[in-house]
Amino acid sequence: MGQAAILTVDDDPSVSRAIARDLRRRYGDRYRIVRASSGAEALEVLRELKLRGSRVAVMLADYRMPQMNGIEFLEEAMDLFPFARRALLTAYADTDAAIQAINVVDVDHYLLKPWDPPEEKLYPVLDSLLDAWQATGDREQPDIRVVGHRWSEPSFQIRDFLARNLVPYRYFGADEPEGRRLLEAAEAGPEAVPLVVTADGRALSRPTVQEVARAAGLSTDPGRDFYDLIIVGGGPAGLGAAVYGGSEGLKTLLIERQAVGGQAGQSSRIENYLGFPDGISGAQLTDRARRQADKFAAETLTTREVVGLRTDGSARTLTFADGGEVSAHAVVLATGVSYRPLLADGVAGLTGSGVFYGSAATEGPACAGTDVYIVGGANSAGQAALFFSRYARRVTLLVRGDSLEASMSYYLIQQLAQVENIEVRTRCEVVGAQGTGHLQAITVCDSKNGTKATVECGYLFVFIGAEPRTDWLGDTVLRDERGFIRTGPDLLVGGERPRGWDRDRDPFYLESSVPGIFAAGDVRASSVKRVASAVGEGAMAVALVHRYLEA
């Protein structure tokens, strides 16, 4: 197939020649350097390369070109070479365009012109892009195939796990022709559902999530017994700690029991995160953060549940549910919070069969033409309402309080008001759910007028409360009455340090009642429940870990 190409697109001839010269000097012996003077010309070049069976490793496009700007070109180029890495060339005044490119075409990098000397400002970026392309290749990988039932909770759990971990898969109903063919090929009957067929053709009948994770190539076992830093929880705080821990040279392990990204990873759109004026999905933000952590050699484990934490001298040891253990000098607890169960008649038996906790984005297309109800009044509920309004006939947001103003960001309230098929009902709550095999109706109590009504409902998404996942900690660290971990100044009562504290200093700001064990993000008492603050606390925790290790 010959050398892979590096394509540059710039309408300024002198700049185009300079780019090509710099690229040939560094990469000409390994890659074919191809130039184009416009987006249209570049697309013709890409079509010709596609017909010849050639590969494209990197595409660099100038933003300010006539007729077709760099972002518009990259959007169309992605259809031809979806696995090529993408970079936008901008002038100093075009950083807004760079941010737009990140949002619109998921650009991998942007380069500010001029970049003299290229050894400092061009080649390191290109080296990183080419390494990433070589690591992933440019050929589409075979997808995992899942055969299941639409209203089966185990089938939903597997689909949701794969989707949240950004693992490509194809889903077939057990009653569809392809689903039946896969069952026959596996010599399996309906009792084998859900059936997972791996990329290499192995058939897994009713597998555990951990078995699915291994089949998908996700890491489930630590690479060593001892680390500098272990982070428990893969939400924004945990990912922030992993990126900073790895980038600062700490041997870092991130442990996540479900899916990296946490609740934020399920968000269809985060619009108030710094640097993304057009918003970014939780999945995109999670994917970028995970790639950053990988870049800095931080290990990530999925489907491993931590059930115990103890001190062994200077070591901090974590115990897994299967009895395995792993230790570190320091631990950051970033386990976030869980949605509280909806305690209404019939709900528990229909969970996964029409009743879902969190956004469950995999169910979006299946909601087409149905009535969707969402319980909750915080940002996550508002974002879900906007997402499902694209598919559902009608979305009704049920809020227990008098209004949304006390719990939801202003920009979301304004957006909800502008969508015709979204209705917000305050002082309402679900008191019952009915259905045979799957959800068919719910009973809603309206406290404004003291009435109850049963309404048809195909899908119910629940976003209520925030319970910390800290029961497994027992008495290891001090927690407040709701289970949130106390840290720093909150541990000092009347100027006294917590019982058992063995250091000649007060606890650091994010440090728990045990030296070397820190808490970050939503699980920490008195924290601000926002994605940006969680990321910041994760980074801050690593700085404090360094202070702890240096003592």
Tell me: do 60 and 130 sit in the same domain: yes
In-domain check, residue 449 = yes
Report the domain count for the chain: 4
Least confident of 35-39, 77-81, 296-300, 509-513: 77-81
Contact between residue 151 and residue 137 where contact means Cβ atoms under 8 Å apart: no
Closest CA to 36 of 20, 58, 51, 55: 20
- Higher-confidence residue of 282 and 333: namely 333
Tell me: do 457 and 480 sit in the same domain: no
- What does the block give as tokens for 249? 């040279």
In-domain check, residue 254 = yes
Instruction: Please check the confidence at residue 93 and state whether its pLDDT lies above 60.
Output: no
Tell me: do 395 and 328 sit in the same domain: no
Tell me: do 534 and 419 sit in the same domain: no
Angle value at C-alpha 433, between 431 and 434, nearest 5 degrees: 145
Q: How many Å apart are CA 338 and CA 341, to the nearest integer?
A: 9
Q: What is the mean pLDDT of the chain?
A: 90
Closest CA to 101 of 47, 55, 59: 59
Tell me: do 122 and 188 sit in the same domain: no
Q: How many Å apart are CA 236 and CA 336, to the nearest integer?
A: 9
Task: List the CATH number of the domain containing 193.
Answer: 3.40.30.10
Instruction: Give the pLDDT band (50/70/90) at residue 527.
Output: very high
Residue-wise pLDDT for 430-458, tens only, equals 999 999 999 999 999 999 989 999 999 99
- What does the block give as tokens for 367? 């909601």
Instruction: Decide which of 464, 479, 500 is a domain's last residue.
Output: 464
Instruction: Decide which of 432, 464, 496 is a domain's last residue.
Output: 464
Instruction: Decide which of 216, 249, 280 is a domain's last residue.
Output: 216
The residue segments making up the domain with residue 361 are: 347-464
Q: What percent of the chain has pLDDT over 90?
A: 65
In-domain check, residue 185 = yes
- What does the block give as tokens for 359? 């956004």
Residue with tokens 């008098």: 402
Q: How many Å apart are CA 393 and CA 387, to the nearest integer?
A: 12
Instruction: Please check the confidence at residue 164 and state whether its pLDDT lies above 60.
Output: yes
Average pLDDT over residues 385-396: 94
Instruction: Please check the confidence at residue 370 and state whether its pLDDT lies above 90.
Output: yes
Task: List the CATH number of the domain containing 233.
Answer: 3.50.50.60
Neighbour tally for 268: CB within 10 Å? 19
Task: List the CATH number of the domain containing 113.
Answer: 3.40.50.2300
Tell me: do 457 and 492 sit in the same domain: no
Instruction: Please check the confidence at residue 95 and state whether its pLDDT lies above 70.
Output: no
In-domain check, residue 372 = yes
C-alpha distance across the termini of the chain, in Å: 57
- Higher-confidence residue of 74 and 328: namely 328
Tell me: do 211 and 230 sit in the same domain: no
Instruction: Please check the confidence at residue 1 and state whether its pLDDT lies above 50.
Output: no
Neighbour tally for 376: CB within 10 Å? 23
Positive or negative, the Cα torsion across 213, 214, 215, 216? Answer: positive
Instruction: Please check the confidence at residue 293 and state whether its pLDDT lies above 50.
Output: yes
Neighbour tally for 446: CB within 10 Å? 15
Q: What is the largest CA-CA distance in the chain?
A: 78
In-domain check, residue 221 = no
Inter-CA distances, 25 with 19, 20, 110, 118, Å: 10, 9, 21, 10
pTM: 0.76
Residue-wise pLDDT for 202-232, tens only, equals 899 999 999 999 999 999 999 999 999 999 9
